[in-house]
Amino acid sequence: MKGKSLVMAVICVAVCFMMGSPLCFGAEPIKIGGIFALTGRAAHIGTSQRDAVLIAIDEVNDKGGINGRKLEMVMEDTESNPTKAVMALKKILEAEDVVAIIGPTLTGTAMAMRGFIEKEKIPAFMHSGGDVILKAPLKKDDPTSLPKWTFKSPYKAADAMGKICQYMNKHDIKKIGFLYSNEGFGKDGLRNVKVQAPKYGVEVVAQEAFAPKDVDMTAQLTRINAKGVDGVIAWTVGPAMGIIAKNVKQLGIKAPLFECHGAGDPVFWKVAGESGEGVMMPSTKIVVADQLPDSDVQKKKIQAYVKAYRKKFEHEPGTMVAYGADAAFIVVDAIKSVGPDRAKIRDAIENTKGYVGMSGIYNISPDDHNGLSMKDIVMIKATKGGWKLLD
Amino acid sequence: MGLSEQIAQFIITGLSIGAIYAIVAMGFNIIHNATGVVNFVQCEFISLGGMFMYTLVVLLRVPMFISFFMSMAAVALIGALIERGPIRYARSKEIIILIFLTIGLSGTLRGTAQQIWGTDNVGVPAFSGENPIHLPVGATLLPQHIWVFGVTVLVMLALRHFFKNTMSGKAMRATAVNRKAAALVGVSVDRMVMLSFALSGALGAVAGMIIAPISTTSYDTGIMLGLKGFAAAILGGYGSFSGAIIGGIMLGVLESLGAGLISSQYKDVIAFLVLLLVLFLRPTGIMGHGESERV
Amino acid sequence: MENRKEYEEVSMPRSLRHKDVICFAILAVVITLIPVFVESKYHLIVLNIIGLNTIVVVGLNLLIGFAGQISLGHAAFYGLGSYFSGILTVNYGFPHWPAMVVAMVTTGGIAYLIGYPALKLRGHYLVMATLGFGIIINILMGELEQFTGGHDGLIGIPPLSIGSLTFDNDLKSFYLIWTFVFFCMLAARNLLRSRVGRALRAIHGSEVAANSLGVNTASYKVKVFVLSAMFASVSGSLYAHYITFISPSTYDFYYSIQVVTMVIVGGMGSLWGSLFGAAVLSLISEALHVAKQYHVIAYGVFLSLMLIFLPEGVLVSIHHFYQNRKLKKLLAAEKGGLTG
């Protein structure tokens, strides 16, 4: 008797728990999928993007969620591997009723997932830097077959490069050397600099590559320096950002060093140390929020977000945090306005106009699935462990 | 800047990276001689050395000198534990099984390190300042590079002394030559194998620590350095000490000259092609002897 | 230990003949029936990846388990298969089946060129040579942009088709890939039971002895190396047409290590172990994702434990366990007979 009643009690509690949970916490949560490189070679980028998205989701939920329903992110790890990324995508789509995807981190994984995203018809806001995910047609022989369901939140690498070249033009830098990491991101930069530099009267007189995990780039820099350049651009994210800054100081290269739009991150100071002083780079406004003029429409929003970020993670946000946050907020806004329906969300994202985000003002259109422009990018200079906004 | 100055710079750079490869190669060799195994945990020894150093110097503000030896001891201990635990209890003593066991262990350690320290690279302050030194040949280097050369030479001399003049060193050499015979004359083979793991742990840590101020460090810096160190050991002749030095320096200089004079895009291709060519011409590496297989 | 091995080698062809037939029949039935129970696309893609890995592992096991040569460069052959198939169909409009054959033959040729000098190397030197070769090929995939699409990858590879049947979803690809698995395993088994198989086993046992008995060990080693490269190439082609996108990071040296690990966990020299190893490790690495950020540690621990406690591979260990029991019973019976 005793045993039976105990079993009954347990069953009752279990049933109550299962049925009760949606009642206690409001309606069933709305789910989005988050696919990031949490391990493997891009883990350092993927984990910070994940944090950025988590903050945004917390913010939405603290304000009561979406029409009374909580927002929940189902997370998967790509292990920085294209095959695993596709598997992660299918896993999320099967296991959960997700309405949109945020991520992945690497351009290679994004390219692998793209075809399946179009097939499954689910909107995906990607974080990868390479423009190729939007520009490359899905079918090789049909240049109009551009992705419909794929968006990307980081501004176009071409614009970031343009910003640097514009700055060089203004400050009379004419001959430059280009140093890039020999993988997707660096190669993308190489293509961009060849297009952007001539536009601003800048000539690329030397181009050198290095492997992302190399520990020394003095050989490449020596070669660049021998060409008598008056500016150096280094296009890489990760430890090489710091090693290059150190090598430039070591070799006594006088030409100013510019780095890519991913360098404006606390990690930069960790890897570069004192040698980081004076390095310039394009960035989102998130790292220089307090220096923005009060007239800047993004200022208040960015400051509030930075405050929340500092509170949760106890360190300063980097430039890439902005991309993660924007992707999350735009998707959330879309869900708010049209409800949890994949096709409607896609249309809503595509119609995002004048959205004031962390990275800039998004004007997304069928022709432009990114929506940022060069105006949203600022040039910053690494000074005393922080960042200084350049005009 | 003239070509000769450039070449001088390439060689200086190559030598300093090559010195690191040489130390790592030495670590591979010591364990190979004791057990015949390629110990891929060597990669993790390098990362751990750097990360311990970072934790002690930057986070806990322990003086550099003390931190250096503390990290070395800590990684040596981890090395010994790896031998005392998984390697010794492995039911098969077949070389290939043990090699892949070290790959499994290396994954475990790397995953743990990622959980402890996160994924970001971090810098470690240089041992003595960062003011570049200009050499008369036109090349520049950092004080840390001098440390790299100095420590490498010291390590090599210490190892030489250890293997030539100490009882343990001689016992280890005896174990390497013939385990059974060594056991018969009273050498505790088990202890020697454990000692070799501790020793190569210490070597890996040293490599990780002296390069950390130059290249920064993270939970996975050791993978590439470890791989290149293995290549250097093979190039020089697996198991040969002078080979480790020659292989390491050759690989370092080759990479640097390849990047500087031929093509920075293809520098790794050049380095590995030369490695393959050397192996095809001299199947036991530059300094290797006939007997290369203990399988 | 030694005795058991001998016993197996001598008796395998005859006593296992009908067992093998039964195993293949079971495999065929399982392959046909799996999609009845598995509907999830995710589970199907996992099964498909297992199938692709199995083909590589079966080939590699011929090399490692039977010829006793270790290669850490098979990601290169897998990749060459993918890239030749992809480049020929996308850039040059080749029909896909002939492209796959061309890929296989060319990869075999490249394997011959590298294998001929490399297989003269022994032990760790061979490991390094293949590793180096794999790294060179991996870098070239990224550098030869005009052909390979560089690091952005090669897009728009068409799915395979027979007549009007296009293998463009996970289910259809499942049948395609696993048909290949079936026939690759059958081919490997037949090879092992032939003269070649006996020669290979002899080489593994003792190269010197085999040589002195008139087996041209060098030539056999190169041949089996080429064959295993061709297996990898076929698998790579299938991968390219299945995922329809390829990029260099799929073919880095981690993949080479992964497939050799599968050979070892499955059991060196065990044909069915290859299938088992590929399945166990692929499934575990997916299943351990429930451990969230700890999955890397969990996988490392799992792999280490397997190698510490089941060094001969899962399948072989189980097999031996039963054989030991049988042997003990037999011995006990014999003892009983003697005393009685």
Tens of pLDDT along C196-207? Answer: 888 887 887 777
Chain A: residue nearest C246 by CA? A112
Contact: C303, B230; criterion CB under 8 Å:
no
Measured between beta carbons, the chain B residues lying within 8 angstroms of C128 are 230-231, 234, 275, 279
Residues 85-104 of A with CB under 8 A from C: 86-87, 90-91, 93-95
Same domain, A247 and A331: no
* 3-state SS assignment for residue B121: coil
Q: Is the pLDDT of residue B1 over 80?
A: no
In-domain check, residue C166: yes
Q: How far apart are CA C329 and CA B10, in angstroms?
A: 71
CB-based contacts of A266, cutoff 8 Å, min separation 6: A315, A316, A318
Residue located via tokens 């200084």: A388
In-domain check, residue A149: yes
Burial B59-82 (b: 16+ CB within 10 A, else e): eeebebeebbebbbebbbebbbeb
Same domain, A143 and A69: yes
Measured between beta carbons, the chain B residues lying within 8 angstroms of A210 are 259, 264
Give the range with max mean pLDDT: A29-38, A92-101, B42-51: B42-51
In-domain check, residue A303: no
Distance from CA of B265 to the nearest CA of A (A): 5
Q: Is the pLDDT of residue A199 over 70?
A: yes
Same domain, A71 and A123: yes
Same domain, A105 and A171: no
Please, which pLDDT band fits residue A10 given cuts at 50, 70 and 90?
Answer: low
Which amino acid does the sequence have at C173? S
Which phi and psi (to 5°) does residue A28 adopt? -50, 135
Closest CA to C91 of C138, C149, C144, C142: C149
> What CATH code is carried by the domain that includes residue A89?
3.40.50.2300
Q: Mean pLDDT lowest for which of A76-90, A118-132, A230-244?
A: A118-132
* 3-state SS assignment for residue C269: coil
E strands present in A226-357: 231-235, 257-259, 280-283, 355-356
Query: What's the pLDDT tens digit per position in C281-316?
Result: 999 999 998 888 899 999 999 999 999 998 888 777
Contact: B221, A213; criterion CB under 8 Å:
yes
Closest CA to A263 of A227, A287, A246: A287
In-domain check, residue C223: yes
A44 interface with C at CB cutoff 8 Å: no
In-domain check, residue A348: yes
In-domain check, residue C210: yes
Same domain, A81 and A148: yes
Q: Alpha helices of B36-178 — where are they, by DSSP H?
A: 41-54, 64-82, 88-89, 95-117, 143-165, 167-177
Same domain, A174 and A251: yes
Bridge partners (DSSP) listed for residue A72: A31
Which phi and psi (to 5°) does residue A108 adopt? -60, -45
Same domain, A245 and A177: yes
Same domain, A88 and A180: no
Task: Please state the rounded mean pLDDT for residues A58-75.
Answer: 88
Same domain, A191 and A237: yes
Same domain, A119 and A208: no
Residues 52-111 of B with CB under 8 A from A: 111
Domain count, chain C: 1
Asked if residue A37 lies in contact with residue A46, where contact means CB atoms within 8 angstroms, the answer is yes
Closest CA to C244 of C330, C170, C327, C159: C159
Residue-level pLDDT at C9 = 45
In-domain check, residue A115: yes
Please report, rounded to a whole number, the percentage of residues in chain A having pLDDT higher than 90.
Answer: 61
Residue A276: its H or E element: none
Distance from CA of C222 to the nearest CA of B (A): 15
Instruction: Give the nearest partner residue to A216 out of B114, B215, B265, using CB atoms.
Output: B215
Name the residue range of residue A44's domain. 28-155+318-373
Asked if residue A390 lies in contact with residue A380, where contact means CB atoms within 8 angstroms, the answer is yes
- DSSP assignment of A211-258, as one string? -TT-S--HHHHHHHHHT--SEEEEE--STHHHHHHHHHHHHT--SPEE
In-domain check, residue A381: no
Token readout for C225 is 């190396």
Residue-level pLDDT at A26 = 56
More confident residue, B290 or B188: B188
Domain count, chain A: 2
* Numbers of helices and strands, H then E, in chain B: 12, 2
Which phi and psi (to 5°) does residue C290 adopt? -65, -25
In-domain check, residue C321: no
A76 interface with C at CB cutoff 8 Å: yes
Q: Is the pLDDT of residue B78 over 90?
A: yes
Asked if residue C176 lies in contact with residue C167, where contact means CB atoms within 8 angstroms, the answer is yes
Chain A: residue nearest B143 by CA? A250
Query: What's the pLDDT tens digit per position in A336-352?
Result: 999 889 999 999 999 99
Instruction: Give the nearest partner residue to C156 out of A139, A182, A183, using CB atoms.
Output: A139
Task: Please state the rounded mean pLDDT for residues A274-294.
Answer: 93
Closest CA to C259 of C78, C47, C69: C78
Same domain, A199 and A232: yes
Distance from CA of C141 to the nearest CA of A (A): 11
Contact: A211, B6; criterion CB under 8 Å:
no
Contact: C139, B266; criterion CB under 8 Å:
yes
Query: Which among A256, A283, A310 is the end of a domain?
Result: A283
More confident residue, C13 or A218: A218
Asked if residue C31 lies in contact with residue C23, where contact means CB atoms within 8 angstroms, the answer is no
Residues 115-134 of A with CB under 8 A from C: 115, 130, 132
Distance from CA of C98 to the nearest CA of A (A): 20
Measured between beta carbons, the chain A residues lying within 8 angstroms of C43 are 94
Q: How far apart are CA A126 and CA A320, in angstroms?
A: 12
Burial (CB count <10 Å: 0-12, 13-18, 19+), residue C32: exposed
In-domain check, residue A380: no
In-domain check, residue A86: yes
Interface test with C, best of B89, B272, B286 (most C CBs within 10 A): B272
Q: How far apart are CA A381 and CA A378, in angstroms?
A: 10
Q: How far apart are CA B202 and CA C228, in angstroms?
A: 39
Contact: A183, C245; criterion CB under 8 Å:
no
Please, which pLDDT band fits residue C2 given cuts at 50, 70 and 90?
Answer: very low
Q: What is the ipTM of this complex?
A: 0.93
Distance from CA of A128 to the nearest CA of C (A): 12
Question: Going by DSSP bridges, is the β-strand pair A361-362/A355-356 parallel, antiparallel, or unpaired?
Answer: antiparallel
Q: Which domains does chain B have, with CATH numbers?
A: 3-121+142-281 (1.10.3470)
In-domain check, residue C280: no
Interface test with B, best of A190, A220, A246 (most B CBs within 10 A): A246
Contact: B107, C303; criterion CB under 8 Å:
yes
Whole-number average pLDDT of chain B: 92
C140 interface with B at CB cutoff 8 Å: yes
Residue-level pLDDT at A8 = 55
A83 interface with C at CB cutoff 8 Å: yes
In-domain check, residue A182: yes
In-domain check, residue C303: no
Asked if residue C199 lies in contact with residue C42, where contact means CB atoms within 8 angstroms, the answer is no
Name the residue range of residue C123's domain. 18-249
Residue-level pLDDT at C111 = 97
Dmax over Cα atoms in chain A, in whole Å? Answer: 93
* Numbers of helices and strands, H then E, in chain C: 15, 2
In-domain check, residue C174: yes
CB-based contacts of A77, cutoff 8 Å, min separation 6: A36, A37, A38, A39, A46, A84, A88, C289, C293, C295
Distance from CA of A181 to the nearest CA of B (A): 9
Question: Going by DSSP bridges, is the β-strand pair B140-141/B133-134 parallel, antiparallel, or unpaired?
Answer: antiparallel
Measured between beta carbons, the chain C residues lying within 8 angstroms of A77 are 289, 293, 295
pTM to 2 decimal places: 0.91
Q: How far apart are CA C221 and CA C63, in angstroms?
A: 8
Please, which pLDDT band fits residue A17 given cuts at 50, 70 and 90?
Answer: very low
Contact: B214, A216; criterion CB under 8 Å:
yes
Neighbours of A274 (CB within 10 A): 15
Burial (CB count <10 Å: 0-12, 13-18, 19+), residue A148: middle
Task: Please state the rounded mean pLDDT for residues C253-262.
Answer: 95
Which phi and psi (to 5°) does residue C133 adopt? -60, -45
Angle subtended at Cα C37 by Cα C33 and Cα C43, rounded to the nearest 5 degrees: 105
Contact: C41, A90; criterion CB under 8 Å:
yes
Measured between beta carbons, the chain B residues lying within 8 angstroms of C307 are 90, 92, 97, 100-101, 104
| Chain B contact partners (≥3 CB pairs within 8 A) | A, C
Chain A: residue nearest B145 by CA? A250
Same domain, A60 and A125: yes
Q: Is the pLDDT of residue A21 over 50?
A: no
Please, which pLDDT band fits residue A165 given cuts at 50, 70 and 90?
Answer: very high
Asked if residue B42 lies in contact with residue B23, where contact means CB atoms within 8 angstroms, the answer is no
**Distances from the Cα of A308 to the Cαs of A323, A331, A387, B162, C110, in angstroms?**
16, 20, 20, 57, 57
Dmax over Cα atoms in chain B, in whole Å? Answer: 63
Instruction: Give the nearest partner residue to C155 out of A90, A111, A184, using CB atoms.
Output: A111
Residue-level pLDDT at C17 = 67
